[in-house]
Amino acid sequence: MRQIVLDTETTGLNAATGDRLIEIGCVELMNRRLTGRHLHFYVNPERDIDEGAIAVHGITVEFLADKPRFAEVVHDIRAFVQDAELIIHNAQFDLGFLDMEFQLLGLPPFRQHVGNVIDTLREARQMFPGKRNSLDALCERLGIGNAHRTLHGALLDAELLAEVYLAMTRGQDSLVIDTLDSNSGQGGVVTTADLSRLTLPVLRATDEEQQAHLALLKGLDKASGGKTVWQDDPAEAPGTLAA
Protein backbone atom coordinates (compact mmCIF):
# COMPACT_ATOMS: atom_id res chain seq x y z
CA MET A 1 0.00 0.00 0.00
CA ARG A 2 1.33 3.42 -0.96
CA GLN A 3 0.72 6.17 1.59
CA ILE A 4 1.74 9.83 1.58
CA VAL A 5 2.19 11.73 4.83
CA LEU A 6 1.42 15.38 4.06
CA ASP A 7 1.70 18.72 5.82
CA THR A 8 1.36 22.35 4.76
CA GLU A 9 2.13 25.83 6.05
CA THR A 10 -0.04 28.81 5.12
CA THR A 11 -0.34 32.59 5.28
CA GLY A 12 -3.14 32.31 7.84
CA LEU A 13 -5.98 30.16 9.06
CA ASN A 14 -8.75 30.51 6.48
CA ALA A 15 -8.48 29.59 2.81
CA ALA A 16 -12.03 30.83 2.21
CA THR A 17 -11.06 34.41 3.07
CA GLY A 18 -7.96 34.54 0.88
CA ASP A 19 -5.19 32.87 2.87
CA ARG A 20 -2.82 30.86 0.71
CA LEU A 21 -0.54 27.86 0.92
CA ILE A 22 3.17 28.71 1.24
CA GLU A 23 4.82 25.33 1.89
CA ILE A 24 4.00 21.69 1.29
CA GLY A 25 5.94 18.66 2.46
CA CYS A 26 5.22 15.00 1.72
CA VAL A 27 7.00 11.75 2.59
CA GLU A 28 6.22 8.36 1.10
CA LEU A 29 5.40 5.14 2.93
CA MET A 30 5.25 1.86 1.05
CA ASN A 31 3.74 -1.01 3.02
CA ARG A 32 4.40 0.93 6.25
CA ARG A 33 8.06 1.55 5.44
CA LEU A 34 9.58 4.95 4.74
CA THR A 35 10.98 4.78 1.22
CA GLY A 36 13.16 7.89 1.35
CA ARG A 37 11.13 9.58 -1.41
CA HIS A 38 9.71 12.96 -0.56
CA LEU A 39 8.28 16.10 -2.14
CA HIS A 40 8.87 19.60 -0.77
CA PHE A 41 8.09 23.05 -2.12
CA TYR A 42 8.03 26.59 -0.80
CA VAL A 43 5.41 28.60 -2.68
CA ASN A 44 5.14 32.33 -3.32
CA PRO A 45 1.57 33.23 -2.24
CA GLU A 46 1.63 36.68 -3.86
CA ARG A 47 0.18 38.23 -0.70
CA ASP A 48 1.14 39.15 2.87
CA ILE A 49 1.56 36.61 5.66
CA ASP A 50 -0.17 37.08 9.01
CA GLU A 51 2.17 37.92 11.88
CA GLY A 52 0.64 35.10 13.91
CA ALA A 53 1.44 32.62 11.16
CA ILE A 54 5.04 33.86 10.90
CA ALA A 55 5.42 33.30 14.65
CA VAL A 56 4.46 29.65 14.09
CA HIS A 57 6.50 28.76 11.00
CA GLY A 58 8.99 31.62 10.59
CA ILE A 59 8.41 31.95 6.84
CA THR A 60 8.38 35.54 5.54
CA VAL A 61 7.28 37.21 2.32
CA GLU A 62 10.91 38.17 1.65
CA PHE A 63 12.01 34.52 1.86
CA LEU A 64 9.28 33.47 -0.57
CA ALA A 65 9.88 36.25 -3.11
CA ASP A 66 11.91 34.06 -5.48
CA LYS A 67 9.96 30.84 -4.90
CA PRO A 68 7.62 29.35 -7.56
CA ARG A 69 3.90 30.12 -7.70
CA PHE A 70 1.54 27.26 -6.95
CA ALA A 71 0.67 26.97 -10.64
CA GLU A 72 4.32 26.09 -11.33
CA VAL A 73 4.40 23.12 -8.95
CA VAL A 74 0.81 21.86 -9.00
CA HIS A 75 1.48 19.12 -11.54
CA ASP A 76 4.44 17.78 -9.54
CA ILE A 77 2.26 17.71 -6.43
CA ARG A 78 -0.59 15.98 -8.21
CA ALA A 79 1.71 13.35 -9.72
CA PHE A 80 3.35 12.58 -6.35
CA VAL A 81 0.09 12.02 -4.44
CA GLN A 82 -1.95 10.47 -7.26
CA ASP A 83 -4.21 7.68 -5.96
CA ALA A 84 -2.22 7.33 -2.72
CA GLU A 85 -3.76 7.13 0.74
CA LEU A 86 -3.03 10.38 2.57
CA ILE A 87 -2.07 10.72 6.22
CA ILE A 88 -2.63 14.25 7.58
CA HIS A 89 -2.89 15.74 11.06
CA ASN A 90 -6.08 17.84 11.17
CA ALA A 91 -6.81 16.89 7.58
CA GLN A 92 -9.65 19.34 6.92
CA PHE A 93 -7.30 22.29 7.36
CA ASP A 94 -4.69 21.13 4.82
CA LEU A 95 -7.26 19.74 2.38
CA GLY A 96 -9.21 23.00 2.49
CA PHE A 97 -6.15 24.95 1.38
CA LEU A 98 -5.17 22.45 -1.29
CA ASP A 99 -8.72 22.31 -2.67
CA MET A 100 -8.75 26.12 -2.85
CA GLU A 101 -5.39 26.26 -4.64
CA PHE A 102 -6.62 23.74 -7.21
CA GLN A 103 -9.89 25.66 -7.61
CA LEU A 104 -8.03 28.93 -8.28
CA LEU A 105 -6.31 27.17 -11.18
CA GLY A 106 -9.58 25.78 -12.56
CA LEU A 107 -8.61 22.21 -11.66
CA PRO A 108 -10.76 19.49 -10.04
CA PRO A 109 -10.50 19.48 -6.22
CA PHE A 110 -7.29 18.11 -4.80
CA ARG A 111 -9.22 15.35 -3.00
CA GLN A 112 -10.30 13.86 -6.32
CA HIS A 113 -6.69 12.98 -7.12
CA VAL A 114 -6.03 10.90 -4.00
CA GLY A 115 -7.45 7.82 -2.35
CA ASN A 116 -8.52 7.51 1.26
CA VAL A 117 -7.54 10.15 3.83
CA ILE A 118 -6.48 9.26 7.39
CA ASP A 119 -6.78 12.13 9.87
CA THR A 120 -4.31 11.37 12.66
CA LEU A 121 -5.83 14.08 14.87
CA ARG A 122 -9.18 12.29 14.77
CA GLU A 123 -7.46 8.94 15.38
CA ALA A 124 -5.48 10.37 18.30
CA ARG A 125 -8.60 11.80 19.94
CA GLN A 126 -10.17 8.35 19.87
CA MET A 127 -7.00 6.71 21.16
CA PHE A 128 -6.20 9.33 23.82
CA PRO A 129 -9.51 10.94 24.79
CA GLY A 130 -9.28 14.04 26.94
CA LYS A 131 -5.55 14.52 26.29
CA ARG A 132 -3.61 17.03 24.22
CA ASN A 133 -3.17 15.58 20.75
CA SER A 134 -1.04 18.14 18.94
CA LEU A 135 1.88 16.77 16.95
CA ASP A 136 4.30 17.85 19.70
CA ALA A 137 2.15 16.19 22.39
CA LEU A 138 1.96 12.94 20.41
CA CYS A 139 5.72 12.93 19.82
CA GLU A 140 6.26 13.27 23.57
CA ARG A 141 3.66 10.64 24.44
CA LEU A 142 4.96 8.11 21.91
CA GLY A 143 8.66 8.68 22.59
CA ILE A 144 9.51 10.31 19.25
CA GLY A 145 12.34 12.82 19.44
CA ASN A 146 11.41 16.29 18.19
CA ALA A 147 13.88 18.49 20.07
CA HIS A 148 15.10 19.86 16.71
CA ARG A 149 11.61 21.23 15.96
CA THR A 150 11.67 24.85 17.16
CA LEU A 151 9.33 26.10 14.40
CA HIS A 152 6.74 24.37 12.26
CA GLY A 153 7.96 23.25 8.86
CA ALA A 154 5.96 21.19 6.38
CA LEU A 155 8.61 18.59 5.50
CA LEU A 156 9.89 18.20 9.07
CA ASP A 157 6.32 17.91 10.38
CA ALA A 158 5.48 15.32 7.71
CA GLU A 159 8.51 13.26 8.74
CA LEU A 160 7.53 13.46 12.42
CA LEU A 161 3.91 12.63 11.59
CA ALA A 162 5.03 9.53 9.69
CA GLU A 163 6.78 8.29 12.83
CA VAL A 164 3.75 9.19 14.97
CA TYR A 165 1.38 7.35 12.62
CA LEU A 166 3.54 4.23 12.57
CA ALA A 167 3.77 4.29 16.38
CA MET A 168 0.02 4.81 16.77
CA THR A 169 -0.80 1.93 14.45
CA ARG A 170 1.98 -0.44 15.46
CA GLY A 171 0.85 -4.04 15.85
CA GLN A 172 0.44 -7.28 13.94
CA ASP A 173 -2.72 -7.22 11.85
CA SER A 174 -2.64 -10.87 10.79
CA LEU A 175 -0.93 -14.20 11.39
CA VAL A 176 1.22 -13.60 8.33
CA ILE A 177 4.01 -11.05 8.72
CA ASP A 178 4.65 -9.10 5.54
CA THR A 179 8.28 -8.84 4.50
CA LEU A 180 9.88 -6.48 2.02
CA ASP A 181 12.77 -7.39 -0.21
CA SER A 182 16.09 -5.60 -0.10
CA ASN A 183 14.75 -2.90 -2.44
CA SER A 184 12.17 -1.69 0.08
CA GLY A 185 13.68 1.77 -0.05
CA GLN A 186 12.30 2.06 -3.57
CA GLY A 187 8.96 0.48 -2.76
CA GLY A 188 9.46 -3.22 -2.15
CA VAL A 189 7.39 -6.24 -3.04
CA VAL A 190 5.32 -7.78 -0.27
CA THR A 191 5.64 -11.54 0.05
CA THR A 192 2.92 -13.43 1.93
CA ALA A 193 2.09 -17.10 2.38
CA ASP A 194 -1.12 -18.58 0.98
CA LEU A 195 -2.82 -20.37 3.90
CA SER A 196 -6.14 -20.99 2.14
CA ARG A 197 -5.39 -24.73 1.62
CA LEU A 198 -3.59 -25.31 4.89
CA THR A 199 -5.17 -27.91 7.22
CA LEU A 200 -3.97 -27.64 10.80
CA PRO A 201 -3.63 -30.97 12.66
CA VAL A 202 -5.59 -31.48 15.91
CA LEU A 203 -3.48 -33.11 18.63
CA ARG A 204 -5.60 -34.71 21.34
CA ALA A 205 -4.38 -35.38 24.86
CA THR A 206 -3.69 -39.01 25.78
CA ASP A 207 -5.39 -40.66 28.76
CA GLU A 208 -2.19 -40.31 30.77
CA GLU A 209 -1.95 -36.59 29.93
CA GLN A 210 -5.58 -36.06 30.93
CA GLN A 211 -5.07 -37.82 34.27
CA ALA A 212 -1.95 -35.77 34.96
CA HIS A 213 -3.85 -32.60 34.21
CA LEU A 214 -6.74 -33.59 36.49
CA ALA A 215 -4.25 -34.35 39.26
CA LEU A 216 -2.82 -30.85 38.83
CA LEU A 217 -6.30 -29.31 39.07
CA LYS A 218 -6.98 -31.25 42.27
CA GLY A 219 -3.73 -29.98 43.75
CA LEU A 220 -4.64 -26.39 42.92
CA ASP A 221 -8.09 -26.85 44.36
CA LYS A 222 -6.65 -28.25 47.58
CA ALA A 223 -4.10 -25.44 47.86
CA SER A 224 -6.88 -22.85 47.54
CA GLY A 225 -9.01 -24.43 50.23
CA GLY A 226 -11.63 -25.65 47.80
CA LYS A 227 -12.22 -22.20 46.27
CA THR A 228 -11.52 -23.03 42.61
CA VAL A 229 -14.43 -22.42 40.25
CA TRP A 230 -13.61 -24.26 37.02
CA GLN A 231 -15.58 -27.36 38.04
CA ASP A 232 -16.99 -28.91 41.20
CA ASP A 233 -15.13 -32.17 40.91
CA PRO A 234 -12.64 -32.51 38.06
CA ALA A 235 -12.39 -36.25 38.62
CA GLU A 236 -16.01 -36.70 37.63
CA ALA A 237 -15.45 -35.28 34.15
CA PRO A 238 -12.48 -37.11 32.64
CA GLY A 239 -13.65 -36.50 29.08
CA THR A 240 -13.81 -32.72 29.26
CA LEU A 241 -10.20 -32.30 28.21
CA ALA A 242 -10.30 -34.60 25.21
CA ALA A 243 -11.27 -32.00 22.62
What gap in Å lies between CA 60 and CA 96, rounded to an integer?
Answer: 22
Is 213 marked active-site?
no
Which one of the listed residues 89, 113, 148, 152 is annotated catalytic? Answer: 152
Closest CA to 154 of 47, 35, 26: 26
Ordered DSSP codes for the chain: -EEEEEEEEESSS-GGGT--EEEEEEEEEETTEEEEEEEEEE---SS---HHHHHHH---HHHHTTSPPHHHHHHHHHHHHTTPEEEETTHHHHHHHHHHHHHHTTPPPGGGGS--EEEHHHHHHHHSTTS--SHHHHHHHHT---TT-SS--HHHHHHHHHHHHHHHT-S--SSSPPEE-TTGGGT--EE----TT------PPPHHHHHHHHHHHHHHHHHTTS---S-S-GGG-GGGG--
Q: Give the residue numbers annotated as catalytic, written as ranges.
A: 152
